[in-house]
Amino acid sequence: MAWFTRSKENIESRKGQDGGNAAPRDMPDGVWAKCSECKEILYQKVIEENLYTCPNCNKHFRIGSTEYFRILLDDGLEEEIAADLRPADPLGFVDSKPYPARIADAERKTHLHEAIRVGTGHLDARPVAMGVMDFAYVGGSMGSVVGEKFARAIDVAMDRRLPFIMVSSSGGARMQEAAISLMQLAKTSAKLAQFAEAKLPYISVLTDPTTGGVTASYAMLGDVNIAEPKALIAFAGPRVVEQTIHKKLPTGFQRSEFVQEHGFIDIISHRKELKATISRVLNHLSNPSLRGEIAER
């Protein structure tokens, strides 16, 4: 029997019209779709042509690694790194179900082996290393395999002298791995320190949502931090903050625009402009006169 029961919905457990859980990716299915933001009825093909954003209100639907690799890389992911790594169950953890069963469910629903995919490709003809998180896989949570795949991707990027781009979407550290998951904050941050010493550019892209341990580690450590519009970016989510301080939070609290205003991110970019924005940033950071600034960040 589970040792706890969730009494409130969170960013992953929203209810669908049939009473079941809505798709964690927040991407409408079918020929026609209703935007959850502006309630406009949209032709699915139009949403896809608009890079999975609403042409009426610019809502950015949650998408996964396959879509981001296709949007940002010239020819998609050309070489995947550590694709065979799978999570283990070192703690024998059981919440509402055993951890191995939860992983099996996630793999069956998403056809993914972890909440992150990493590899290499080309962005505007520039060779790059890149990682993308999938929120649909256990809420994009960071466990030991996520940390290891991130670390291996950094090693490949250093060995080949490639810039590294990380697209984050996460509910935070994976509770089923307890302290092991928290160790990944230090591990990934240490890898990025080595990357900085190698004087290579690291671009962090924060999408909705980027929270918890991922925000407290690699998501906020970019030479340049870029966010999609209205993405939730936080360590503790707004509901937790409200319950702690017993006050109602202002509209837009912890969204990209609020976070940029308070100095935690550098650029907000519409998904249709994201590839061009990253390309411009990489051109800027590749200027030899700026390499010293990168190393000193």
pLDDT tens readout for residues 263-278: 999 999 999 999 999 9
Q: Looking at the domain assignment, is residue 43 inside a domain?
A: no
- For residue 119, pLDDT over 80 is answered with yes
Q: Looking at the domain assignment, is residue 181 inside a domain?
A: yes
Helices (H), 54-128: 65-72, 99-110
Q: Looking at the domain assignment, is residue 194 inside a domain?
A: yes
Give the rounded distance of the alpha carbon of 164 from its chain centre. 14
- Output the pLDDT for position 293: 53
Q: Is the dihedral of CA 84, 89, 93, 99 positive or negative?
A: positive
Window from 71-75, 130-134, 190-194, 293-297 with minimum mean pLDDT: 293-297
Q: Looking at the domain assignment, is residue 48 inside a domain?
A: no
Question: Rounded to whole angstroms, how far apart are CA atoms 251 and 238?
Answer: 11
Q: Does residue 29 or residue 178 have the better pLDDT?
A: 178
Beta strand ranges found along 10-55 (DSSP E): 32-34, 41-43
Percent above pLDDT 70 for the chain: 87
**CATH number of the structural domain spanning residue 86:** 3.90.226.10
- Output the pLDDT for position 14: 41
Range of the structural domain that residue 204 is part of: 63-295
Q: Looking at the domain assignment, is residue 274 inside a domain?
A: yes
- Output the pLDDT for position 100: 97
pLDDT tens readout for residues 176-187: 999 999 999 999
Q: Looking at the domain assignment, is residue 15 inside a domain?
A: no
Q: Looking at the domain assignment, is residue 278 inside a domain?
A: yes
Give 16's pLDDT tier (boundaries 50, 70, 90): very low
- For residue 141, pLDDT over 70 is answered with yes
Structurally, how many domains does the chain consist of? 1
- For residue 99, pLDDT over 90 is answered with yes
Question: Rounded to whole angstroms, how far apart are CA atoms 219 and 207?
Answer: 10
Beta strand ranges found along 55-125 (DSSP E): 79-81, 116-123
Q: Looking at the domain assignment, is residue 32 inside a domain?
A: no
